[in-house]
Amino acid sequence: MVGQGNIKTEDLNLCFEKLMMFASASGGSASVGGKMKMEGRVMITDWKDIPIELLLQILALVDDQTVITASGVCSGWRDAVCLGLTRLSLSWCTKNMNSLVLSLAPKFTRLQTLILRQDHKPQLQDNAVESIANFCHDLQVLDLSKSFKLSDRSLYALAHGCPNLTKLNISGCSAFSDIALEYLAGFCRKLEVLNLCGCVRSASDRALQAIGHYCSQLQSLNLGWCEDVSDVGVMCLAHGCPDLRTVDLCGCVLISDDSVIALANRCPHLQSLDLYYCKNITDRAMYSLAQSVVKNKPAAMWESRKARNDEEGLRTLNISQCTALTPSAVQAVCDSFPALHTCSGRHSLIISGCLKLTSVHCACAVQAHRTANAFPHSAHGTNERGLG
């Protein structure tokens, strides 16, 4: 058995036999032409008797290891899997993942989501990704995170074979080059979510310029710890991808206020921004974020937005270790976006490591503080009245 699963065809057949025994024991059954008949209806007595529509419903209820096993039970199961399986995860496979992908890709041609995350020893190689690209042309979501063995061959193959990708996770794939990523962006223009965390070679300004040029539908981008990214790349993204909602720039030590200002001015739907350890960020960036709420918007539109409370605007902001920021600038951001919280249990404005910012509080934290201060006095007065 490939991977860590221990499910066998015999196990599935045994389950089926028990099911039939239960049906027979329930009474009113008779055998007709090898099939079981109950109250005038012919019952199923073998896997091959199950309609493919029912097989598809059964497949939707079992785990991925069982699906793979079921594909080898009989032609009916195999056809059902090949025709109906649209999502598959092999992250559970701790050995021989590459061989498993090579054997499954030609069968599961209608896959739309494929998760190949490797949390243990990296196994996936370029020939497996090339097989995916050759057979799974409907693929929309692909997770190749921590695939340290992959090279540019994989990105070139995906560019040609999977142009409908909307979500791609290649975080930790440190061998990819920016030339290959630039090439991919030119073909996969429907990308909405792209995770490049730790892709230190591929996530360059050159690649980001290509992404900004071709991938205008991009909504989420993770550039965590891509140390070569500078303002040039981020500004190209902001101009070319106006629908960006989530941007992770943690550890991008070269970026400055210009990157944040470009995102604030060009991406009106921005909801999450991670600037952890971006030491060059100053108050100028914070005031730009605060002002972006009402900038170039009519008064009526601003009132409408306030009525909707926090449906729009920043919901998460991480400025930890941004030690150049002052309380007044960060408080301005907090006041502008009601969804940013510093109160206990709702930390969405993250300021750890910024000792100067301890005075920054969201509205509900201030209210909670006032209530806490008022409560003891009220209780004391009540006790006194009771004693009197």
The values of phi and psi at residue 322, to 5°, are -90, 80
Give the per-residue pLDDT at 63: 86
Beta bridge partners of 88: 114
Give the per-residue pLDDT at 44: 63
Question: Which contacts of 101-106 are long-range, i.e. CB under 8 A and separated by 24 or more positions?
Answer: 101/128, 101/131, 101/132, 102/127, 102/128, 102/131, 104/68, 105/131, 105/132, 105/134, 105/135, 105/136, 106/131, 106/135
- Termini Cα distance of the chain: 81
CA atoms of 82 and 265, how far apart (whole Å): 47
CA atoms of 153 and 129, how far apart (whole Å): 9
CA atoms of 227 and 204, how far apart (whole Å): 9
Has residue 136 been placed in a domain?
A: no
Residues 6+ apart with CB under 8 A from 106: 131, 135
Beta bridge partners of 143: 115, 169
Has residue 101 been placed in a domain?
A: no
Has residue 227 been placed in a domain?
A: no
Has residue 350 been placed in a domain?
A: no
The answer to whether residues 286 and 311 touch, using CB atoms and an 8 Å cutoff, is no
The answer to whether residues 361 and 327 touch, using CB atoms and an 8 Å cutoff, is no
SS3 content of the chain, % helix, strand, coil (to 5): 45, 10, 45
Number of domains within the chain: 1
What are the start-end ranges of the H helices in the chain? 9-25, 52-59, 64-70, 75-84, 97-104, 126-135, 152-161, 178-187, 205-214, 231-240, 257-266, 283-291, 299-307, 327-336, 363-387
Tell which residue, 324, 336, 308, has the closest CA to residue 275.
324
CA atoms of 160 and 178, how far apart (whole Å): 17
Has residue 53 been placed in a domain?
A: yes
Q: What is the pLDDT along the chain (388 residues), one digit of tens a residue?
A: 344 444 455 665 665 555 444 444 444 444 444 444 444 454 666 666 677 777 777 777 788 888 888 777 667 777 777 778 899 999 999 999 999 999 999 999 999 999 999 998 999 999 999 999 999 999 999 999 999 999 999 999 999 999 999 999 999 999 999 999 999 999 999 999 999 999 999 999 999 999 999 999 999 999 999 999 999 999 999 999 999 999 999 999 999 999 999 999 999 999 999 999 999 999 999 999 999 987 745 544 545 544 444 457 999 999 999 999 999 999 999 999 999 999 888 889 999 999 999 999 998 866 665 566 666 555 454 444 444 3
Q: Which two tokens stand for residue 166?
A: 């909307």
Give the per-residue pLDDT at 376: 58
Q: Which two tokens stand for residue 210?
A: 């290509």
Cα distances (Å, whole numbers) of residue 316 to 45, 59, 184, 319 = 56, 38, 30, 10
CA atoms of 189 and 128, how far apart (whole Å): 23
Q: Interhelix angle for 52-59 vs 75-84, to 10°? A: 60
CA–chain centroid gap for 319, Å, is: 22
The answer to whether residues 210 and 185 touch, using CB atoms and an 8 Å cutoff, is yes
Structural domain range at position 60: 45-85
Q: Which two tokens stand for residue 200?
A: 């230190």
CA atoms of 165 and 163, how far apart (whole Å): 6
CA atoms of 124 and 214, how far apart (whole Å): 28
* Residues 275, 339, 233: CA angle, nearest 5 degrees: 30
Has residue 157 been placed in a domain?
A: no
Has residue 76 been placed in a domain?
A: yes
Beta bridge partners of 194: 168, 221
Quote the DSSP letter at residue 48: G
Has residue 292 been placed in a domain?
A: no
